[in-house]
Structure 1
Amino acid sequence: MKLHIDREIQWPVLLGIAFIMVLTFSFSSQASAHGYVSQPESRALLCKQGQNKNCGRIIYEPQSLEAPGNFPAGGPADGKIASANIFFELDAQSRLRWEKVPMKSGDYQFKWKFTAPHVTGSWEYYITRIGWDTNQPLQRADFQKFCTIDGKKQRPPSEVTHTCKVPERTGYHVILAVWNIGDTKNAFYNVIDTEFGGKQVLPTKPETKPEENHGTSDSLTPAPLPDVQPEKPLQPAAKWDEDKVYVEGDRALYAGSLYAAKWWTRGDLPGDSAVWKLLKPANDDVHEWKTRNVYEVGDQVMHEGVLYSAQWWTSGDEPGKSDVWKLLKIINGNVKKWEKQSVYLAGNQVLHENVIYEAKWWTRGDLPGNSAVWTLLKTSGMNAPEWRTANVYVAGDQVMFNGNLYEAKWWTRGNVPSDSAQWKRH
């Protein structure tokens, strides 16, 4: 009878213990589903390894920098980005506070290590802007995104490696790696202190205007009235420059569209950032060039079957005969595309890769640009400027270098066109 009673008591107890164990295992699995950047070593990992000192509790759990996601609209508050608003010792920021890992511009591999991976939305990589203040707490405005990897709503393996193209930098910069979780609204934030070498670009200070002298109540002579100046016309907008500082009202051209800055910005891509207001979209309805018309930077015209874009203010300068016009594309209904099987006679013209060629003699199958039978007549590179080391170029920009035409594949600065993967030779 006693044994029967014990069994009746034991079964509910055992079931309760089993239920608690299931909950504990489930909670532990969820709690351990964290991760961190292992290469290059993150600030938190260098704390765990002992190279960074006075780091607090992060030395025990570098994988736990979790906070709300949707950065930069959401996420940790400014000044708390490095700590994810948890391990506050990581938010200390100065030029010499943290150990730095060597970094270089161009293709670079970032490796994540996961203790128990989550379903992943994406990984995003940000870097501090040129001229950021190394001695101030990290803020959203300090960062610009340079790489996004799609997680495809899948659970990654215990380690993943991403290859991203790191922008050109010199000196000390912080890279922010964000792991966006796909089945929750959270994300993991890892900052990486990097050293590119070269001179550190110091932050620029805003110009301060001297205080105006409004006079005093004791003045016997009234202050002179200011001269009324006619309102100056707006200067033509220049092409957007990643390294330039724009303030409220500044205008910039990007991809044929005209934008105005809503507030202070540097490095935020027009059309991909809330800081820019679209003033004038790229004009799809391009008209023929007219002698008396006034054209501003970015205006596009057709002339003799060729599409041009104005590089600055112009009126009366004929496209194709003036440096003010940049040749964008040859659109000539009288010139047909080159075909390998067609026969061409001396004087026949063809269009191949946006270049017009003329046959010197009978030909069939000889590739224009790669055969002596063809003479180059007109190319989109005719008005291309010479390549300059200090200039920033984006995808599609064309330059001349050593007598050859090159086109940028992506963002680049300082990479010699004839000796780098950033450029394509025409």
Structure 2
Amino acid sequence: MIQARTLLNPFKNVPFLAAFAMTLLLALISVVFAEKASAHGYIESPQSRVVKCSALINLNCGAAQYNKNDLEGLKGFPAAGPADGQIPSAGRAPYSALNEQTATRWDKVSMNGGPNTFTWTLTANHATTNWKYYITKPNWNPNQPLKRSDLELFCTYNDGGAKPPTTVSHSCNVPTDRSGYHLILGTWDVHDTANAFYQVIDVNLANNGTSPQLPSVPGNITSIVQSLNSITLNWSASTASAGVSYYEVFRNGALVGSPTSPSFVDTGLQANTSYTYTIKAVDNSGNKSAASAGVTFKTLANGGGTTAPAWSATQAYLGGAKVSYNGATYEAQWWTQGETPGVATVWKKL
């Protein structure tokens, strides 16, 4: 009886299996559609802010680091579109880090005024109404969130609903009546949806035959003190017409510190290990120097003590630095330069 009952019901679970298969298919379709829908376009050249995030030139970009295609908001800028203060992110909360705005927050592209080419890479080449380019006005404040009243239109291309190729380039005359740090906003209005794509480019604009003056490259990088787990760096101060704001210290190619003075203590290191450092200077307009030549220093091995090199009258020392002088070892109690051990109270004899 049991065998007969089994033979009479071989398709007992077919409805359940069919429903499961349909659910799985719909889920797969939704994933494919979501992936396609999230891919649209970005300004590849000159590199936009979000493209530099993707390339890890701009840091601490949040979700924008992983999706440079998706800065999509309502079209019709400036009458519509993202709210003031949210323009770089297209009003998208996951990409809100892009809205941060100071004179030094973002890496910049050097650009001359006059004819320039802007190139979009489209990962979904939607039918297009128009492309527009805006630039910040001469008196804009780079330390305030971007708002539409900061911008003025300087270039437009109308497509009238045509479907563009996957690479689109526009030649535009960038204004020549301003220089220094400016933002260029590119908008791409999709023809058959209510949306547009927004891309902000940070530029150092040069006009009247002049180029932005970069800070001088940090030099004379030394390490007076090493311990088991730290390396203390010192270097010659950079100069810049706009004044030096801070330095960027890179360990083995990764940014590890942004000190405002020409010294840095790198901590949390492995004992008996070599590390290579390069340093850039950043001025008050956000211009960055070229990277210094790489220098390599090594932490002490287990069981080693802190080195105590001979004191130098020209070397700057941080608190905790140890030196030898006239046969004795001294430790700096705070920052010092040119003060003689055994004479100045900044030095404690060990």
Q: TM-score, normalised by structure 2?
A: 0.53
Q: 2:123 matched to which residue of 1?
A: 115
Cα distance in 1 between the residues matched to 2:211 and 2:116? 21
2:163 to 138, 155, 162: 155
Cα distance in 2 between the residues matched to 1:73 and 1:8? 53
Q: 1:25 matched to which residue of 2?
A: 32
Cα distance in 1 between the residues matched to 2:135 and 2:10? 70
Aligned-residue offset at 1:156: 2.2
For the 8 Å contact 2:102–2:144, the answer to whether it is kept is yes
Cα distance in 1 between the residues matched to 2:80 and 2:133? 15
What amino acid is the match of 1:124?
A: K
For the 8 Å contact 1:41–1:192, the answer to whether it is kept is yes
For the 8 Å contact 2:38–2:69, the answer to whether it is kept is no
Q: 2:80 matched to which residue of 1?
A: 74
1:177 to 177, 186, 195: 186
What amino acid is the match of 1:31?
A: S
Structure 2 SS opposite 1:5:
coil
Cα distance in 1 between the residues matched to 2:169 and 2:38? 23
Cα distance in 2 between the residues matched to 1:20 and 1:55? 30
What amino acid is the match of 1:69?
A: K
Question: In the alignment, is residue 140 of structure 1 matched against residue 148 of structure 2?
Answer: yes
For the 8 Å contact 1:122–1:181, the answer to whether it is kept is yes
Q: TM-score, normalised by structure 1?
A: 0.44
5 Å-filtered alignment, 1:26-425, equals 26-32=33-39, 34-86=40-92, 87-168=95-176, 169-197=178-206, 198=210
Q: 2:257 matched to which residue of 1?
A: none
Cα distance in 2 between the residues matched to 1:91 and 1:9? 49
Structure 2 SS opposite 1:172:
strand
Aligned-residue offset at 1:127: 0.6
Instruction: Mark the structure with the bigger radius of gyration.
Output: 1
For the 8 Å contact 1:101–1:195, the answer to whether it is kept is yes
Structure 2 SS opposite 1:152:
coil
Aligned-residue offset at 1:131: 2.1
Give the structure with the higher percent strand.
2
Aligned-residue offset at 1:122: 1.1
Question: In the alignment, is residue 13 of structure 1 matched against residue 15 of structure 2?
Answer: no
Instruction: Give the CA RMSD over aligned residues.
Output: 2.1
CA deviation digits over 1:90-116, x for unaligned, max 9? Answer: 122222221110112222111111222
For the 8 Å contact 1:170–1:199, the answer to whether it is kept is no
Which stretch of the first structure deviates more once superposed, 75-84 or 170-179? 75-84
User: Runs in 1 of length 4+ with deviation above 4 angstroms?
Assistant: 6-9
Cα distance in 1 between the residues matched to 2:15 and 2:60? 56
* Identical aligned residues as a percent: 39
For the 8 Å contact 2:130–2:190, the answer to whether it is kept is yes
Larger relative contact order (CA 8 Å, sep ≥ 6) = 2
Gapped regions of structure 1 (runs ≥ 5): 201-426
Cα 1:9/1:172, change in 2 over 3 Å: closer
Cα distance in 1 between the residues matched to 2:148 and 2:97? 19
CA deviation digits over 1:213-254, x for unaligned, max 9? Answer: xxxxxxxxxxxxxxxxxxxxxxxxxxxxxxxxxxxxxxxxxx
Aligned-residue offset at 1:123: 0.9
Structure 2 SS opposite 1:156:
coil
Cα distance in 2 between the residues matched to 1:54 and 1:112? 24
CA deviation digits over 1:114-143, x for unaligned, max 9? Answer: 222222111110011122222221111111
What amino acid is the match of 1:103?
A: M
Aligned-residue offset at 1:158: 2.0
Cα distance in 1 between the residues matched to 2:142 and 2:33? 42
Cα distance in 1 between the residues matched to 2:16 and 2:144? 63
CA deviation digits over 1:192-214, x for unaligned, max 9? Answer: 011123599xxxxxxxxxxxxxx
What amino acid is the match of 1:171?
A: G
Gapped regions of structure 2 (runs ≥ 5): 1-6, 213-350
